[in-house]
Amino acid sequence: MSKTYSTIEPAKRPYTVALSSAEIIALVKFHGSCAKNLSNATGKFLTQGGGGMFKLPSSTEARIAIKVAKESIEAHGNRARGLLSFIQK
């Protein structure tokens, strides 16, 4: 029986891992990169459309895409800030 863990912060995690400062900085850069890629992909979806070549998304699809992107970007930002807090102490 496999367990699933929440992606919503703060999540309960059963493991602990020792990380160096360089590894933490690499993870912060990764989360920053993910946020940037999400932003770019959402913009591309909104300007070029999700399906056909000249089909723009409906206003409902656009609102949903923006909402999901904002939540994901915020989650990556929170994770990056949380990781940085370990180094700044």
User: What is this structure's pTM?
Assistant: 0.72
80-84: average pLDDT: 90
**Each residue's pLDDT tens digit, 10-35:** 666 677 778 888 999 999 999 999 99
Question: Using an 8 Å Cβ cutoff, are 83 and 45 in contact?
Answer: no
DSSP conformation class of 30 = H
**Each residue's pLDDT tens digit, 29-45:** 999 999 999 999 998 88
Q: Report in angstroms the alpha-carbon separations of 17 from 20, 23, 24.
A: 10, 11, 11
Question: Using an 8 Å Cβ cutoff, are 77 and 70 in contact?
Answer: no
Residues with Cβ within 8 Å of residue 63, at least 6 apart in sequence: none
Q: What are phi and psi of 12, to 5 degrees?
A: -85, 125
